[in-house]
Every structure is written in structure tokens, then in C-alpha cells.
């Protein structure tokens, strides 16, 4: 099966940029996603990228995809305390979704 991996924790200072990384193994990915989960809440879709794209920008969010290395990243510019949450990447293959382990982002005021 597919392995989708993320580092578990990230701390940044308010106003700095955050970069959350994700690696995956399946070469048949069609879409890759980033979800945000705040404490006690469900998952919120933040953004997604087609597997044939290199980059997608959406306001403070920038997604970079290196398909050769099977590496996905999410950059959050001007990180705010409200960005503190767990971020999951997800890889969609023709058969199903695979979720990463989640990265807990802590924003220090």
C-alpha cells in the first residue's frame, strides 16, 4: 500500500513562514491535498494540486509538488496563531485516498 509521511511537529513564530513537508510513494497519484484539523473539529480542505502541476498559490498558501521525488510541501506565509492546528497531506490514487500522519503546527506569539 501507499506510504504517506510527514514530520510530527513544527513550531514557528508568529509572522514567520511555515513549511510543512510530505512524502509519498505511489506514482499513480492524481491529486494531492492539504487538510487542516483544529482541536475538536473535523477536517477542513485547504487546497489541492493536480499531479501534473508544480506549484499552486492561494493567498497565504503555496503548494509545491516535486513529482520526481514524490515530495509535497505546504508553505504558509505570515503565519498567525489561528494557523495552529494539525495539517494532513493526502494522496489520491485511482483506488483511494491515503492520509499522512499529520503535522502539528504550533505558532508562538
Partner 1 sequence: SAVISQKPSRDICQRGTSLTIQCQVDSQVTMMFWYRQQPGQSLTLIATANQGSEATYESGFVIDKFPISRPNLTFSTLTVSNMSPEDSSIYLCSVVGRVVVGEQFFGPGTRLTVL
Per CB under 8 A, the list member of 63, 65, 100, 105 interacting with partner 1 is 100
- Minimum CB distance to partner 1, residue 56 (Å): 13
- Quick one: 78 exposed, middle or buried, by C-beta within 10 A (0-12, 13-18, 19+)? exposed
Q: Do 96 and 1 meet the contact criterion of CB atoms below 8 Å apart?
A: no
CB nearer to partner 1: pick between 62 and 99:
99
What is the dihedral sign for C-alpha 33, 57, 65, 21? negative
Per CB under 8 A, the list member of 2, 10, 21, 31 interacting with partner 1 is 31
CB nearer to partner 1: pick between 16 and 48:
48
Question: Counting contacts by CB under 8 A, is residue 34 touching partner 1?
Answer: no
Amino acid at each position: 500500500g501507499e506510504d504517506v509521511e510527514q514530520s510530527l511537529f513544527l513550531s514557528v513564530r508568529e509572522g514567520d513562514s511555515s513549511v510543512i513537508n510530505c512524502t509519498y510513494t505511489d506514482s499513480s497519484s492524481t491529486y494531492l491535498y492539504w487538510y487542516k484539523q483544529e482541536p475538536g473539529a473535523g477536517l477542513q480542505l485547504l487546497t489541492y494540486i493536480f499531479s501534473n502541476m508544480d506549484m499552486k498559490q492561494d493567498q497565504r498558501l503555496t503548494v509545491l509538488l516535486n513529482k520526481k521525488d514524490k515530495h509535497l510541501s505546504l508553505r504558509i506565509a505570515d503565519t498567525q496563531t489561528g494557523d495552529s492546528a494539525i495539517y494532513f497531506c493526502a494522496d489520491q490514487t485511482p483506488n483511494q485516498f491515503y492520509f499522512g500522519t499529520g503535522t502539528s503546527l504550533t505558532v508562538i506569539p
